[in-house]
Structure 1
């Protein structure tokens, strides 16, 4: 209490109170430095639980709707989900490899490819999504909380709604949204290196809830009744060509929904206890978990379609539909457990996909004032303030923009993978990521790597006309533009990566494997590299980057030569 009083005693005292003592420059604080051993806590099980739990969410449960409406059978729809997520997991492992080895997050790792100043562009490009989708996910969480309240209070749905229709939200949903905000607050104060228990609990509770819905639906229906969905899919088919491109588009949609995490997986991989911990946890959990969740959604929807004559793809609509058709004590108890589980699932998804990436991103924007915990709290406040229900219910064009945003994310992750594996062969000059000296390896030209930005633009050019067309602003674009947009993420990823590889080979850059004189990645010594970073950036090596030490002190900046980290 005394510290709080002192902090508000004057503007100068307040500034001193909020300034992070671990920030010796605008490029560094405790969450931008390589993670110390005390925070390398994520095991193979941690990554498995993280991605297994992340697989159980509303969008994955509902994904069969788009695929079956495009003409895919139940079997083929699930195959699309499996292989799209297998590709996503592979890309994640590749992009997380450098961070699991050097223990640096996305904002710092992106300095290698885009430059000391250039990396701010790709960081902001990603952080915008964190705020928007954080708010949208909190709105969805609020809807499930509203269902829980409906199960407890029979008169919940009859509460008068005095909110104008123009606001696109009811009193019940507003109460649920506010409660979702309150329930989220405690979780944003947990550092990423300590948040694993949330995903462990979610990885058990939510699949059990989904299984409960499947068992109820199939038992009440007397079977799965998948033939009704296959019949819907068959009636939706047009020509073979149109069907093929529709499936390609849905495959791309799955990749697009994962695209932001493909870019920022270093923010999780940096806490890997071993270099291989992130590999198998992601390769197995993501494709298997998402396919199983999607299959539960398909089975439940099929059974309920036979019973009620309606397709409830969204679990929110399904749970409300169950109550509409029988507000009995068993139904209320079952729906309450399922709704509470999905609310928790949505909370976990928001933490994994929005709060953690946003917080890691903004640490590099204001390192003297923001660390990961403060960044997560800032994301929560901003997500609450943007009135996400208006985005969901009345801003179809804006949501379309967000869904097509993946064409700008594909080239970024491709550039980072090509840079690390093909152009640098695993050699990173760690301390040069924390200096603005023109002699630094990653300073390039005025702090930006022109090769990376040229490849970024080239990467999204081909699907761009189709992206513009998707807003309905032009009807004159040919079929090829639409087809290239149907391949949006894949096309931007391959073209952007190939362009960067060519630029890197034709115009060698400082710090690539040829200029550093290595045929392969050097032996990695974490303790030595960390001491080099601390010395070069002017931070006292005895300072508390670990949880238990003393404060960090500023020093004059040292120097660092290429390859001296070996």
Structure 2
């Protein structure tokens, strides 16, 4: 057995060596070797006038063998991603809500968020396309670059910030193992850097852990998300129970509160907006998650059931546990890694350290999974669109990994308060994008996406060329959606001259942006439809009719049949 393994290994090494030698023998060979896989190169494509510079396997529909996520997987995935919202309650309490009001507001905001997530995941779960490909269908072949590129930049920044946040729990584990030997590591990094030597060690270790996951696509991570979903509840519940016992169940808030003009009503609206902003990335990212679904409904009902309950429960644990322990010990803690550090300051025995190690390990896995789902996958998908011939999702993961270190997230969190405020408030921009995508799919196009045309940037693309590659109607609706809350958003970044009405509109930011863009786009297109919408009406296409003709729809025909079907439509429309 070992001889066969050694022989197989030598054979693979020899093949890899020969490939490298061939690639380096000439510039054309090197360029060919660097290109990523797509169905055009494999002779499998049935797409119409597809350009090899606009296609790769991660932009194409997910093939059936990679649709590995079922209802149970999505339930555990959403539970694992959502149950880590320990600190969400700090925002709610900070704007003037009581602990129970904060819990109610969180539940309301997450219920709204789960409905938006369900709607935004339908197209992906039916056609198995990611966010970048669906963006082409909605915003145009060139317009999609803005909406995908903007998300990619934000995903890269959040990826680095989550790396740094998770490193706090890696530090908890190192301290639980090595005790004072880790705690007392001398610092050799200047104070102006915003990080210590032991902090850099923890960050680098967490960065290395992420590096391992860069080699896997989401359909290969089913077991990891199952594992993450199972371990979070006992860890969070254990810390909560400890804090309640230690504080004798007394909740004593120590967080500073910010007065919101207009009374309780506006404080509630501000809280709902903050809750929606907390989930804005996940709402936008739904296509990149739902595309791996075995059935169209597997991802939809799971998020409707799990998302509101998991976020509300974890945030409630965070509010009550931290407020109780702060009152008992006279501290002002909120981050869970600071809480675990404080617990070890009070209980440094071997049993306590083992329990703290387990809790920190579970939280580390939670942040790791959330960072992969919310930021790594989205950046990898976006990078695959920005340079399809040479960058696929996995190469995008490695780029995100490098950027996560390059942006020095500890400096952002330590000194750039305005920048972090901007990141927290960008949900209003994403709300407009989601609104337009939902309106396009459910109302204007009757659930029809012409998959065969998503990789043709030329003038022959009768469906998604729009106006020189831009869906002008969508751009107008997008600008309308962000216009109303934008002055208040600018005021939150320090701009002056914004009246109270402007601030009030910002308190309704996500909902206002969503409703405005949804209404604007729907009304505009009723009177000024895009060419794609006209063709769908003229051909009398019913709900999700094109799924029966798409290359990878639920009732997919053969590639040639799909082409014949689309060519027939093209002749009819022309």
- Looking at structure 2, the residues matched to 319 and 93 of structure 1 have their Cα atoms a distance apart, in angstroms, of 35
Equivalent of 1:518, from 526, 529, 541?
541
- Mapping 1:14-33, distance limit 5 Å: 14-22=30-38, 24=40, 25-33=52-60
Cα 1:369–1:241 change in 2 (3 A) is: same
- Is 1:391 aligned to residue 412 of structure 2? yes
- CA drift at 1:240: 8.1
- Looking at structure 2, the residues matched to 427 and 133 of structure 1 have their Cα atoms a distance apart, in angstroms, of 33
- Looking at structure 1, the residues matched to 438 and 395 of structure 2 have their Cα atoms a distance apart, in angstroms, of 29
Cα 1:31–1:281 change in 2 (3 A) is: same
1:48 matched residue in structure 2: 75
- Looking at structure 2, the residues matched to 373 and 239 of structure 1 have their Cα atoms a distance apart, in angstroms, of 45
What does the per-residue CA deviation read over 1:132-152, in whole Å, with 9 as the maximum and x for residues that have no partner? 011111111111111211112
- CA drift at 1:537: 11
- Looking at structure 2, the residues matched to 143 and 46 of structure 1 have their Cα atoms a distance apart, in angstroms, of 28
- Looking at structure 2, the residues matched to 220 and 464 of structure 1 have their Cα atoms a distance apart, in angstroms, of 45
Q: Is the 8 A contact 1:431 1:560 kept in 2?
A: no
Equivalent of 2:96, from 61, 65, 71?
71
- Is 1:243 aligned to residue 264 of structure 2? yes
- CA drift at 1:381: 1.4
- Mapping 1:308-457, distance limit 5 Å: 308-439=329-460, 440-457=462-479
2:63 matched residue in structure 1: 36
1:472 matched residue in structure 2: 494
Q: Is the 8 A contact 1:511 1:562 kept in 2?
A: no
TM-score (norm 2): 0.89
Cα 1:134–1:533 change in 2 (3 A) is: farther
1:135 matched residue in structure 2: 160
Q: Is the 8 A contact 1:429 1:562 kept in 2?
A: no
- CA drift at 1:330: 2.6
Cα 1:167–1:528 change in 2 (3 A) is: closer
Cα 1:11–1:167 change in 2 (3 A) is: farther
- CA drift at 1:169: 0.2
- CA drift at 1:327: 2.2
Equivalent of 1:96, from 113, 118, 121?
121
What does the per-residue CA deviation read over 1:117-160, in whole Å, with 9 as the maximum and x for residues that have no partner? 11111000111111101111111111111121111222212111
- CA drift at 1:413: 0.5
- Looking at structure 2, the residues matched to 492 and 560 of structure 1 have their Cα atoms a distance apart, in angstroms, of 39
Q: Give secondary structure in 2 for the equivalent of 1:342.
A: helix
Cα 1:392–1:526 change in 2 (3 A) is: farther
Cα 1:289–1:250 change in 2 (3 A) is: same
Runs (4+) off by over 6 Å: 530-533
Unaligned runs of 5+ in 2: 1-12, 41-51
What does the per-residue CA deviation read over 1:518-552, in whole Å, with 9 as the maximum and x for residues that have no partner? 354427436765677955999xx9xxxxxxxxxxx
What does the per-residue CA deviation read over 1:72-124, in whole Å, with 9 as the maximum and x for residues that have no partner? 22222111111111111111110111111111111111111111111111000
Q: Give secondary structure in 1 for the equivalent of 2:532.
A: coil
- Is 1:258 aligned to residue 279 of structure 2? yes
- Looking at structure 1, the residues matched to 422 and 406 of structure 2 have their Cα atoms a distance apart, in angstroms, of 20
- Is 1:503 aligned to residue 524 of structure 2? yes
- Looking at structure 2, the residues matched to 274 and 410 of structure 1 have their Cα atoms a distance apart, in angstroms, of 26
Cα 1:239–1:290 change in 2 (3 A) is: closer
- Looking at structure 2, the residues matched to 254 and 239 of structure 1 have their Cα atoms a distance apart, in angstroms, of 16
Q: Is the 8 A contact 1:249 1:487 kept in 2?
A: yes
TM-score (norm 1): 0.90
2:184 matched residue in structure 1: 158
What does the per-residue CA deviation read over 1:192-214, in whole Å, with 9 as the maximum and x for residues that have no partner? 11212121111111211111112
1:187 matched residue in structure 2: 213
Greater Cα offset, 304-313 or 519-528: 519-528
Q: Is the 8 A contact 1:428 1:511 kept in 2?
A: no
Cα 1:102–1:162 change in 2 (3 A) is: same
Unaligned runs of 5+ in 1: 542-557
Q: Is the 8 A contact 1:438 1:444 kept in 2?
A: no
1:203 matched residue in structure 2: 229
Q: Is the 8 A contact 2:79 2:229 kept in 1?
A: yes
1:547 matched residue in structure 2: none
Q: Give secondary structure in 2 for the equivalent of 1:274.
A: coil
Greater Cα offset, 293-302 or 446-455: 293-302
2:328 matched residue in structure 1: 307
- CA drift at 1:244: 2.5
Cα 1:369–1:532 change in 2 (3 A) is: farther
Greater Cα offset, 152-161 or 511-520: 511-520
1:215 matched residue in structure 2: 241
Q: Is the 8 A contact 1:40 1:272 kept in 2?
A: yes
Q: Is the 8 A contact 2:96 2:260 kept in 1?
A: no
- Looking at structure 1, the residues matched to 204 and 391 of structure 2 have their Cα atoms a distance apart, in angstroms, of 25
Q: Is the 8 A contact 2:551 2:559 kept in 1?
A: no
Q: Is the 8 A contact 2:62 2:552 kept in 1?
A: no
Cα 1:253–1:149 change in 2 (3 A) is: same
- Looking at structure 1, the residues matched to 549 and 63 of structure 2 have their Cα atoms a distance apart, in angstroms, of 9
Cα 1:238–1:375 change in 2 (3 A) is: closer
- CA drift at 1:368: 1.1
